[in-house]
């Protein structure tokens, strides 16, 4: 069941790109924090967010 809408997907993709860019801006072990960018990217690509599911949220307008 998809619970992530199109606007939400765009925001998540932009957020993941911003997080991935941290890999090049940070130094040392902090640069691996940029890998957190995979979470919003995967939820955008699959259209499913487990946290939305836990709280009963749905931004997907299609039924």
pLDDT digits over 13-53, tens only?
Answer: 999 999 999 999 999 999 999 999 999 999 999 999 999 99
Question: What residues contact 63, with CB distance under 8 A and at least 6 apart?
Answer: none
pLDDT for residue 62: 79
pLDDT, position 63 = 63
pLDDT over 70 at 54, yes or no: yes
Give the integer Cα–Cα distance in Å for 15 and 41.
8
CA distances from 1 to 39, 42, 52 (A): 18, 15, 11
Residue 34 CA to residue 19 CA, distance in Å, equals 5
The residues spanned by each domain of the chain are 6-55
pLDDT for the residue 39: 97
The pLDDT score that the predictor gives to residue 60 is 94
């Amino acid at each position: 069941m998809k619970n992530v809408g199109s606007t939400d997907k765009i925001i998540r993709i932009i957020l993941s790109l911003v997080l991935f860019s941290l890999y090049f801006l940070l130094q040392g072990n902090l640069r691996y924090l940029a890998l957190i960018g995979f979470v919003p990217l995967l939820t955008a690509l699959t259209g499913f967010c487990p946290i939305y599911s836990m709280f009963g949220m749905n931004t997907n307008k299609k039924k």
